């Protein structure tokens, strides 16, 4: 009996030449580093150097997160990835009533330039690549980072890293939106223009399928809806007057790596092929870098279990291997205890060591695209590609990603798939080790990392001191200028930077924009 993939596609017991009778090797597979990039975006891939080991971290105060970053760097991390707490992600200050109980819980609290300065104290920003997982207020955090770099004497044109800046997926799967979709897209395009003029090495967006996968999307849905969002961002930038080759080389993507290794490898290869064709055939991109789908990968948090958490070490190793065999450019490996709480120092170090073992103790870096020509993987790549293209066509038929979001299409499709997975798990058809099979009569005790609840009070004290110390008339004037620009057509990042330099807070800047643009109300609550 044939099994099914995560996308409910058939996996045949045996693959042979007949499975690829429709496949054109010259047109589809190509060479590594060449169009359509099925085999990887660079000719040598990891034979030249390994992927960037970018560990995602951040909790509590900026000082606590800074200490964690320093330890990760000492243990061999080659790139930092910042997690922000929910109030920061939603554009609220730590002392706002709505932030109560959430300050520093799932990431670091950053309210102002003072916090950003502390967060990167002693970390040379001209030698570290930093990724920031922030979306609706992405422009603010990017500008705060730039301001701190300027204080270090590092010019903007030497900064390297990524700001996630992908607000469309927030409406689909995650929910940390602030403004309605159309002004949010304007803000995204303003970031493109701003970085194009002065931060040429910075990746201006990380178009994310990871959070869709965490919400229950299948691999096909993950890449179809992510690439459809990417198309919407490209159209927005072009409509704003930008040439595709001026911004497309700095686009990047963010995907999950699940435990279903074969389909995940096929997914990554299919996504590269689809994006290359879209960029060349629909948008007329001429720069080869505009055609490259470069992506960061994180192992699947949604597949971690609170039961027998040490088993997650095995899951993460398999997921990381899938990402590497699929050709990722950077990778975060989850810690085994993240289903219980924020990772401890020990578990975060073990997660990093997992990547180091793959890079230095296995032979996966010895050759490019190890699965090339595999009957199973090539056939699965074709199948995932065809199914994703069909789903992307349905999005286009609704008028594109934003129109489909407004209709609730992507969210509904993902929810149906999540329900299917839940039913299969509950019935035992889908085996989850330690949950519905191979269980223990009694779980072993585990002591998780706990965030000090006093953090919220300390952040409130810092904010009070900041407001008492700053030049308030200068802040008020800067915020008024920001609102005036937001009501017009000019790039909002320039007055935003002036406001942040004057020590306006994240909540104040977002509040000024809310006054002009309004706040998003999801369709299903209307």
Position 51 scores a pLDDT of: 95
Task: Name the strands in the sheet holding 251-257, side by side, starting at the edge strand that comes first in the sequence.
Answer: 202-203, 161-163, 129-133, 79-83, 52-57, 330-332, 295-299, 251-257, 205-208
459-490 pLDDT, tens per residue? 999 999 999 999 999 999 999 999 999 999 99
Position 360 scores a pLDDT of: 96
Average pLDDT, the chain: 92
Average of pLDDT values for 412-436? 96
**Using the 8-state DSSP alphabet, how is residue 98 labeled?**
G
Average of pLDDT values for 377-390? 96
Whether the predicted pLDDT of 234 surpasses 70: yes
Whether the predicted pLDDT of 516 surpasses 50: yes
Average of pLDDT values for 33-54? 93
Whether the predicted pLDDT of 28 surpasses 90: no
pLDDT band at residue 454 using 50, 70 and 90 as cut-offs: confident
Lowest pLDDT segment from 29-33, 90-94, 349-353, 450-454: 450-454
* Domains in the chain with CATH codes: 3-427 (3.20.20.240), 455-525 (no CATH)
Nearest Cα to Cα of residue 384 among 207, 219, 262: 219
Position 20 scores a pLDDT of: 64
Burial class (CB in 10 A: 0-12, 13-18, 19+), 44: exposed
Cβ pair 144, 483 in contact under 8 A: no
Of residues 194 and 454, more confidently modeled:
194
Please state, in angstroms and rounded to a whole number, the distance separating the CA atoms of residues 84 and 90: 10
pLDDT band at residue 11 using 50, 70 and 90 as cut-offs: confident
Lowest pLDDT segment from 21-25, 173-177, 242-246: 21-25
Give exposure, 309-326, as e/b (b: 16+ Cβ within 10 Å).
bebbbebbbbbbbbbbbb
Of residues 129 and 316, more confidently modeled:
316
Residues 6+ apart with CB under 8 A from 93: 87, 99, 111, 463, 505, 506, 507, 508
Please state, in angstroms and rounded to a whole number, the distance separating the CA atoms of residues 446 and 307: 11
Lowest pLDDT segment from 51-55, 57-61, 224-228, 427-431: 57-61
The DSSP annotation for 280-318 comes to IIIT---SGGGG---EEEEE-GGG--SSSGGGHHHHHHH
Return the structure tokens found at 509: 């800047």
Position 25 scores a pLDDT of: 52
Please state, in angstroms and rounded to a whole number, the distance separating the CA atoms of residues 503 and 112: 6
Lowest pLDDT segment from 12-21, 102-111, 243-252, 296-305: 12-21
184-216 pLDDT, tens per residue? 999 999 999 999 999 999 999 999 999 999 999
270-315 pLDDT, tens per residue? 999 999 999 999 999 999 999 999 999 999 999 999 999 999 999 9
pLDDT band at residue 447 using 50, 70 and 90 as cut-offs: confident
Whether the predicted pLDDT of 79 surpasses 90: no
Position 525 scores a pLDDT of: 34
Please state, in angstroms and rounded to a whole number, the distance separating the CA atoms of residues 183 and 520: 10
Position 524 scores a pLDDT of: 56
Average of pLDDT values for 322-351? 92
pLDDT band at residue 523 using 50, 70 and 90 as cut-offs: low
pLDDT band at residue 526 using 50, 70 and 90 as cut-offs: very low
Position 19 scores a pLDDT of: 66
- Hunting for tokens 């590497």 — which residue is that? 324
Residues 6+ apart with CB under 8 A from 181: 167, 168, 171, 402, 405, 406, 520
Return the structure tokens found at 122: 């002693």
Average of pLDDT values for 3-30? 72
Task: Indicate the pairing of strand 79-83 with strand 10-11.
Answer: unpaired
Per DSSP, the three-state class of 505 is: coil
Lowest pLDDT segment from 266-270, 295-299, 453-457: 453-457
């Amino acid at each position: 009996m044939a099994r099914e993939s995560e996308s409910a596609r058939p996996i045949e017991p045996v693959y042979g030449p007949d499975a690829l009778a429709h496949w054109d090797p010259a047109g589809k597979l190509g060479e590594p580093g060449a169009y359509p990039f099925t085999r990887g975006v660079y000719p040598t891939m990891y034979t030249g150097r390994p992927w960037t080991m970018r560990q995602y971290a951040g909790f509590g105060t900026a000082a606590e997160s800074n200490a964690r970053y320093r330890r990760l760097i000492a243990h061999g991390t080659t790139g930092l990835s910042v997690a922000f707490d929910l109030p920061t992600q939603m554009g609220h200050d730590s002392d706002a009533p709505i932030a109560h109980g959430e300050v520093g819980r799932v990431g670091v609290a950053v309210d102002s330039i003072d916090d950003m300065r502390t967060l990167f104290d002693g970390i040379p920003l001209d030698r570290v690549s930093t990724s920031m997982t922030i979306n609706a207020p992405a422009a603010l955090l990017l500008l705060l980072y730039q301001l701190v770099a300027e204080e270090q004497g590092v010019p903007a044109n030497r900064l390297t890293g990524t700001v996630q800046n992908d607000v469309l997926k927030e409406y689909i799967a995650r929910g940390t939106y602030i403004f309605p979709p159309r002004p949010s897209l304007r803000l995204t395009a303003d970031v493109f223009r701003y970085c194009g003029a002065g931060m040429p090495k910075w990746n201006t967006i990380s178009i994310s399928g990871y959070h869709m996968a965490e919400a229950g999307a299948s691999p096909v849905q993950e890449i179809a809806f992510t690439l459809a969002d990417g198309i919407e961002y490209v159209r927005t930038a072009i409509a704003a007057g930008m040439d595709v080759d001026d911004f497309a080389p700095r686009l990047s993507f963010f995907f999950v790596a699940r435990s279903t290794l074969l389909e995940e490898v096929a997914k990554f290869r299919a996504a590269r092929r689809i994006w290359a064709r879209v960029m060349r055939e629909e948008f007329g991109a001429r720069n080869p870098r505009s055609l490259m789908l470069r992506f960061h990968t994180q192992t699947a948090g949604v597949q971690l279990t609170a039961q027998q958490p040490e088993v997650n070490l095995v899951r993460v190793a398999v997921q990381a291997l899938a990402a590497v065999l699929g050709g990722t450019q950077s990778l975060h490996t989850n810690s085994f205890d993240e289903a219980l709480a924020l990772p401890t120092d020990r578990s975060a170090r073990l997660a990093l060591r997992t990547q180091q073992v793959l890079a230095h103790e296995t032979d996966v870096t010895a050759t490019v695209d190890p699965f090339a020509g595999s009957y199973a993987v090539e056939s699965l790549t074709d199948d995932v590609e065809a199914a994703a293209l069909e789903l992307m066509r349905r999005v286009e038929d609704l008028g594109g990603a934003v129109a489909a979001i407004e209709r609730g299409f992507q969210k509904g499709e993902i929810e149906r798939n999540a329900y299917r997975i839940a039913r299969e798990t509950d019935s035992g058809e889908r085996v989850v080790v330690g949950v519905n099979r191979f269980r223990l009569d009694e779980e072993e005790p585990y002591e998780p990392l706990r965030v000090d609840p006093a953090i919220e009070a300390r952040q409130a004290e810092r904010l009070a001191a900041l407001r008492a110390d700053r030049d308030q008339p200068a802040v008020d004037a800067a915020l008024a200028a920001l609102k005036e620009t937001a009501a017009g057509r000019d790039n909002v990042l320039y007055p935003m930077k002036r406001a942040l330099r004057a020590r306006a807070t994240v909540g104040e800047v977002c509040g000024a924009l809310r006054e002009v643009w309004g706040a998003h109300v999801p369709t299903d609550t209307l």
